């Protein structure tokens, strides 16, 4: 909530430097390896008209389960949603 950077664990050194430079200039940096569907969450107006950082109920449920160290398959089974939905959300 309020994050201005989203960097994947395996990011290259070049991407890390790019992210740092972008943040220092007041921008938002999102890892280019993320699926295209993720980028609109960080744009003005947010996902589905919500402000950036405002998660849906399902996104909050998934985040909670991720924090409990559940993997995508376990989350999918727990919430009775497809594995693809877990990965995109």
How does pLDDT run along the chain (89 residues), one tens digit per residue? 466 777 778 888 888 888 888 888 888 787 777 765 565 555 555 555 555 556 778 888 888 888 888 899 999 999 999 998 888 75
Q: Would you list the domain boundaries of the chain?
A: 1-53, 55-89
Q: Confirm if 41 and 47 have CB atoms less than 8 A apart.
A: yes
């Amino acid at each position: 909530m309020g994050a201005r950077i989203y960097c994947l664990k395996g990011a290259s050194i070049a991407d890390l430097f790019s992210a740092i430079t972008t943040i220092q200039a007041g921008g938002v940096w999102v890892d280019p390896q993320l699926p295209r569907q993720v980028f609109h969450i960080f744009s003005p107006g947010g996902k589905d008209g919500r402000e950036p950082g405002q998660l849906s109920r399902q996104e909050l449920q998934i985040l909670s389960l991720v924090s409990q160290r559940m993997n995508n398959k376990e989350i999918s089974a727990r919430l009775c949603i497809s594995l693809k939905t877990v990965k995109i959300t």
